[in-house]
């Protein structure tokens, strides 16, 4: 279970057990064009190694296979929503996937460019801050934005045609609103969750 700060207890990398692989297999079914994957375990071991070691994909040990193959497969699964489905399933305490939650949070965090704001929204709603790229105060808040944006826009529209002394404070408030809910353009690596 995540702690109150939303950080999952760290789990060092290890090869997947047979039981863990059997739990994960249904999420990685092959569908569509292309050759089916011949060794799902090796691919998942390589991906989980990469996401738990915080380095570039090129650091993947040679015995785990080509780094570019693991990276490409990781991105394909991110586009298909596999990491999102796994994070949702593992976040339930009674889930048999719960012991893999830390690795799944790390994989979800690594896919943040593909998942975008919906990924941030999901991790915030699940309370899994380990799945986010940085502290909450530095990241966009899509839920707050959805709630407050209509109010801000209504105020700005109401000021059209009014003197500058009335419009400027509202525009300054809108800029501050954007700064708070839009997050920072980048998060220093030192502030990323463990």
pLDDT one-digit tens code per residue, 54-66: 889 999 999 999 9
Higher pLDDT, 32 or 156: 156
Q: Quick one: average pLDDT of 149-154?
A: 78
Q: What is the pLDDT of residue 149?
A: 73
Higher pLDDT, 83 or 2: 83
Q: Are 74 and 63 in contact (CB under 8 A)?
A: no
Q: What is the pLDDT of residue 175?
A: 77
DSSP string covering the chain, please? ---TTSPPPP----PPPHHHHHHHGGGG---SSSPPPS-HHHHHHHHHHHHHS-S-GGGS-GGG--HHHHHHHHHHHHHHTHHHHHHHHHHSTT-TTGGGHHHHHHHHHHTHHHHHHHHHHHHHHHT-GGGSSS-GGGS--HHHHHHHHHHHHHHHHHTTTS-HHHHHHHHHHHHHHHHHHH--S---GGGS--
Q: Are 131 and 83 in contact (CB under 8 A)?
A: no
Higher pLDDT, 61 or 175: 61
Q: How far apart are CA 26 and CA 156, in angstroms?
A: 50
Q: What is the pLDDT of residue 87?
A: 93
Q: What is the pLDDT of residue 1?
A: 44
Q: Quick one: average pLDDT of 36-43?
A: 84
Q: What is the pLDDT of residue 74?
A: 95
Q: How far apart are CA 40 and CA 18, in angstroms?
A: 12
pLDDT one-digit tens code per residue, 92-119: 888 899 999 999 999 999 998 898 888 8
Band the pLDDT of 31: cuts 50, 70, 90.
low
Q: What is the pLDDT of residue 2?
A: 43
Give every CB contact of residue 107 below 8 A, 6+ residues apart in sequence.
Answer: 47, 48, 51, 74, 83, 86
Q: How far apart are CA 149 and CA 141, in angstroms?
A: 12
pLDDT one-digit tens code per residue, 66-93: 999 999 999 999 999 999 999 999 998 8
């Amino acid at each position: 279970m995540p702690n109150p700060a939303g950080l999952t207890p760290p789990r060092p990398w290890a090869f997947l057990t047979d039981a863990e692989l059997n739990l994960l297999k249904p999420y990685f079914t092959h569908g569509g064009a292309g050759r089916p994957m011949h060794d799902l375990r090796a691919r998942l071991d390589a991906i989980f190694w990469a996401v738990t070691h915080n380095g570039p994909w090129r650091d993947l040990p040679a015995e785990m296979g080509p780094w570019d193959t693991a990276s490409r497969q990781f991105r394909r699964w991110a586009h298909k929503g596999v990491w999102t489905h796994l994070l949702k399933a593992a976040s339930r305490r009674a889930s048999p996937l719960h012991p893999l939650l830390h690795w799944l949070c790390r994989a979800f965090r690594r896919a943040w460019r593909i998942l975008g704001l919906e990924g941030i929204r999901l991790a915030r709603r699940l309370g899994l801050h380990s799945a986010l790229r940085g502290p909450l105060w530095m990241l966009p808040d899509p839920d707050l934005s959805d709630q407050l944006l209509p109010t801000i826009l209504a105020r700005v529209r109401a000021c059209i045609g009014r003197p500058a002394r009335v419009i400027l404070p509202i525009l300054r408030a809108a800029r501050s609103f954007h700064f708070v809910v839009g997050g920072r353009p980048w998060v220093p690596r030192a502030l990323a969750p463990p």
